[in-house]
């Protein structure tokens, strides 16, 4: 008997450059795919079983018919959720997950896993779908099988990323476009070493708060408010005002950042990153003492233009924009000083902006 053909798919992690929690508020965001990701390799099975192995998480075997989220091996739900979204057929497959993308660090290993799965299954079934539809079915899988109401940024960035380009995404119009990133700049990713515990609960709480603020402001989404308008609405409950201010100003920072990128103005872009972090810290309260420390250490290092938390927050990683020639020194000083202050051996990587999923 012939062995079934083996197929492989890869999807990278991503950084959020600016536009924090804006995607589910119909807003705008700038991200970039990075040079680390997850690969899925495998083949069809004739026995109706889905067998998934992860080099870091273990193995599961479930019947392909009537897929349901697993309660114990929750990591497999990203794969099963995508299989459930894609397959009407209930066919079995074997899949092995491997890669160099850390999980739970805010680099969106979840979206990378979903997209690698989607591309893998589409190849297995010799089907094609428009890219935005693929991104959306992965998002639905995360909503339905994992229970995290994530926006679409992660999947769009991992899928549409281009080497040395930032990805602009408008969550309302669904416009996606890439913008050249200044070549003389490097991105340094620093893990705080604190897992994003309770992150999904806090994430969903921020979704509710920003929704409530939009309702009180009488708009469809916070996308429809300017900071001038918001400043005239101090009658809002104080907490909701601060949540709204974060989203409204993040959108404005993204629009300004596009002009700065087009002008090659790294210093200006870095200043917006600093302002974004300050807003996370004070208004959105999705930073942590560890993320704050990483950012403040980074901001004092030579060659650094700006730093902020990246992704959902509540733990995870920071991103630092640095002149390329100073990046090695800045990365090692950042790791050393963070260790001195916290005793946490943070993983600090210099990352290149890479191509999206294949």
Give me the active site residues, please: 154
CB of 199 to ligand ADP, least distance (A): 6
CB of 95 to Mg ion, least distance (A): 19
Question: Is 77 one of the binding residues for Mg ion (CB under 5 A)?
Answer: no
CB of 146 to Mg ion, least distance (A): 9
Q: How far apart are CA 269 and CA 154, in angstroms?
A: 21
Closer residue to ligand ADP (CB): 225 or 348:
348
328, exposed or middle or buried, with CB in 10 Å at 0-12, 13-18, 19+?
middle
**274 touches which of ligand ADP, Mg ion, none (CB within 5 to 8 A by kind)?**
none
Q: How far apart are CA 8 and CA 124, in angstroms?
A: 9
Closer residue to Mg ion (CB): 110 or 276:
110
Closer residue to Mg ion (CB): 43 or 149:
149
Closer residue to ligand ADP (CB): 60 or 245:
60
Closer residue to ligand ADP (CB): 108 or 276:
108
CB of 106 to Mg ion, least distance (A): 8
24 to 53: interface string for Mg ion, x by CB under 5 A? ------------------------------
Are 163 and 354 in contact, with CB atoms under 8 Å apart? yes
Q: How far apart are CA 159 and CA 162, in angstroms?
A: 9
- Give the three-class secondary structure for 249: helix
CB of 341 to ligand ADP, least distance (A): 24
Q: Of the candidates 169, 199, 164, 214, which has an alpha carbon nearest to the alpha carbon of residue 184?
A: 164
Q: How far apart are CA 163 and CA 160, in angstroms?
A: 10
Q: Which of residues 88-117 bind Mg ion (CB under 5 A)?
A: 108, 110
End-to-end CA distance of the chain: 30
Closer residue to ligand ADP (CB): 99 or 161:
99
Closer residue to ligand ADP (CB): 110 or 283:
110
CB of 114 to ligand ADP, least distance (A): 9
Are 312 and 291 in contact, with CB atoms under 8 Å apart? no
DSSP per-residue codes, 288-351: -HHHHHHHHHHHTSTTEEEEEEESS-SSSEEEEEEEGGGHHHHHHHHHHHHHHHH-----EEEE
Helix, strand, coil percent content, the chain, rounded in steps of 5? 45, 25, 30
Residues that bind ligand ADP (CB under 6 A): 38, 54, 56-57, 74-75, 78, 97, 99, 103-110, 113, 196, 311
CB of 115 to ligand ADP, least distance (A): 12
**181 touches which of Mg ion, ligand ADP, none (CB within 5 to 8 A by kind)?**
none
Q: Of the candidates 63, 69, 67, 65, which has an alpha carbon nearest to the alpha carbon of residue 90?
A: 65
Q: Of the candidates 246, 175, 174, which has an alpha carbon nearest to the alpha carbon of residue 209?
A: 246
Are 39 and 146 in contact, with CB atoms under 8 Å apart? no
- Give the three-class secondary structure for 165: strand
Contact residues for Mg ion (CB under 5 A)? 108, 110
């Amino acid at each position: 008997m012939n062995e079934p053909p083996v197929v492989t798919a890869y999807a990278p992690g991503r950084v959020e450059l600016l536009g924090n929690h804006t995607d589910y508020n119909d807003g705008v965001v700038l991200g970039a795919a990075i040079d680390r990701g997850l690969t899925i390799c495998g083949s069809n099975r004739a026995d109706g079983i889905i067998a998934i192995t992860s080099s870091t998480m273990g193995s599961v075997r479930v019947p392909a018919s009537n897929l349901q989220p697993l309660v114990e091996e929750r990591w497999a739900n990203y794969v099963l959720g995508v299989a459930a979204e894609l397959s009407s057929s209930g066919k079995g497959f074997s899949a092995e997950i491997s890669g160099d993308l850390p999980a739970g660090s805010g680099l969106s290993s979840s979206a990378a896993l979903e997209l690698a799965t989607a591309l893998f299954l589409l190849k297995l079934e010799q089907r094609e779908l428009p890219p935005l539809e693929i991104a959306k079915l992965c998002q639905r899988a995360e909503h339905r099988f994992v229970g995290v109401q994530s926006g679409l940024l992660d999947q769009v960035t991992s899928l549409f990323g281009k080497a040395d380009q930032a990805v602009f995404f408008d969550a309302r119009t669904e416009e996606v476009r890439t913008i050249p990133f200044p070549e003389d700049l490097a991105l340094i990713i620093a893990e705080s070493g604190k897992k994003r515990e309770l992150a999904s609960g806090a994430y969903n709480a921020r979704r509710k708060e920003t929704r409530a603020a939009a309702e009180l402001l009488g708009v469809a989404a916070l996308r429809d408010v300017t900071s001038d308008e918001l400043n005239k609405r101090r009658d809002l409950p104080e907490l909701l005002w601060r949540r709204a201010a974060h989203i409204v100003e993040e959108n404005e920072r993204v629009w300004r950042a596009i002009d700065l990128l087009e002008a090659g103005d790294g210093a200006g872009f870095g200043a917006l990153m600093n302002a974004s972090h300050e807003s996370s810290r004070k208004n959105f309260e999705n930073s942590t003492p560890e993320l704050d420390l990483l950012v403040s250490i980074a901001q004092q290092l030579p060659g650094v233009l700006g730093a902020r938390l990246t992704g959902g927050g509540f733990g995870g990683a920071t991103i630092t924009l640095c002149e390329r020639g100073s990046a090695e020194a800045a990365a090692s000083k950042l790791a050393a000083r963070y260790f001195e202050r916290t005793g946490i051996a943070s993983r600090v990587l210099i990352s290149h902006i890479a191509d999206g999923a294949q």
